[in-house]
Amino acid sequence: MSVTGKTAIVTGSNSGIGLGIARELAKAGANVVLNSFTERDEDHALAAEIAKEHRVTARYIKADMSEPGQCRALVETAGACDILVNNAGIQHVAPIDEFPQEKWNAIIAINLTSAFHTTAAALPMMRDAGWGRVINIASAHGLRASPYKSAYVAAKHGIVGMTKVVALETAQEPITANAICPGYVLTPLVEEQIPDTMKEYDMSRDQVIRDVMLKRQPSKEFATVEQLGGTALYLCSDAAAQVTGTTLSLDGGWTAM
Ligand code: NAD
């Protein structure tokens, strides 16, 4: 099964990992739906650029993944969904007794609950089409914890659990559900944290990357958005037809420890 002509919806895909996955799927021939909560010319320009470069249909649809109705509307507006990549995510770091309630609610809503709504809306379309792939972008934090990341770790463990349930509910259909668990990936989100961390620890850029960010990543290398896109493509391939309800780690050995 090739992804040519399939429709892929990637949530949170106007930057970083989501954009990287959308590009890889488009390169392989999938029509892609980009999404975020903004409505800017550059969002639509990104979709136009992907469409032109890979000769596929690419659209940008604004939908705020913290709003249940907008999660479902994204799928309905797209009109088809063979491949659903639940990727939108945010982070906030604070001790649990100081963790702002609104940050907890936003992280759970965007990183976990949105995937419940998009999956519920997309499964009937996959069933009608007779094929489907649900790909949830979890994290090494879906399998391991770190201090100060209560909401993020809870949401990522939650999405790993939900992935298994979707896999069981679709086990006898040509639909699979899996979670990709990246370690650190050098996206704009991570890049932005480097200058502050350099100041905080009085370290060079290289020291921050190696000794702070990649401390728990034994390979001492970031995973790349292209590797994540390649993994999503693998999950769409015939070779992965029996791969369901599991996690695929791209974490340079983090969760081997
Ligand atoms: P990013 O900030 O570059 O991308 C996040 C995307 O989500 C953006 O497109 C943003 O616009 C979108 N988004 C945020 N809030 C949204 C909302 N309310 N509605 C719709 N879209 C929204 O970050 P990233 O590093 O590419 O992260 C993407 C996913 O990968 C997240 O789920 C993150 O938890 C996960 N992840 C990232 C890393 C990493 O090291 N970068 C590691 C493991 C997992």
Q: Is the pLDDT of residue 120 over 80?
A: yes
Average pLDDT estimate for 171-184: 98
Same domain, 135 and 213: no
Do 59 and 133 have their domain in common?
yes
Same structural domain for residues 83 and 209?
no
Say whether both 147 and 210 belong to one domain.
no
Q: What percent of the chain has pLDDT over 90?
A: 95
Number of structural domains (the chain) is 2
Q: Is the residue at 30 inside a domain?
A: yes
**Residues 52-107: tens digit of each pLDDT:** 999 999 999 999 999 999 999 999 999 999 999 999 999 999 999 999 999 999 99
- Asked if the structure places residue 2 within a domain, the reply is no
Q: Is 201 a catalytic residue?
A: no
| 158 pocket-lining for ligand 1 (C-beta < 6 Å) | no
Q: Are residues 120 and 206 in the same domain?
A: no
Q: What is the pLDDT of residues 227-237, one digit of tens each?
A: 999 999 999 99
- Average predicted confidence (pLDDT) for the chain: 97
Structure confidence by residue, pLDDT tens digits, 4-59: 999 999 999 999 999 999 999 999 999 999 999 999 999 999 999 999 999 999 99
* Residue-wise DSSP of the chain: ---TT-EEEESS-SSHHHHHHHHHHHHTT-EEEEEES---HHHHHHHHHHHHHHTS-EEEEE--TTSHHHHHHHHHHH---SEEEE---------GGG--HHHHHHHHIIIIIHHHHHHHHHHHHHHHHT-EEEEEE--GGGTS--TT-HHHHHHHHHHHHHHHHHHHHTTTTTEEEEEEEE--B--HHHHTHHHHHHHHHT--HHHIIIIIITTT-TT-S-B-HHHHHHHHHHHHSGGGTT--S-EEEESTTGGG-
Please check whether residues 212 and 231 belong to one and the same domain.
no
Domain residues for the domain of 202 are 186-221
Are 67 and 179 in the same domain? yes
Residues 148, 152, 184, 234: which is the catalytic one?
A: 152
Same-domain pairing of 98 and 139: yes
Same domain, 228 and 120: yes
Ligand 1 contact, 179 CB (< 6 A): no
Same domain? For 239 and 152 the reply is yes
pLDDT confidence bin for 1, thresholds 50/70/90: low
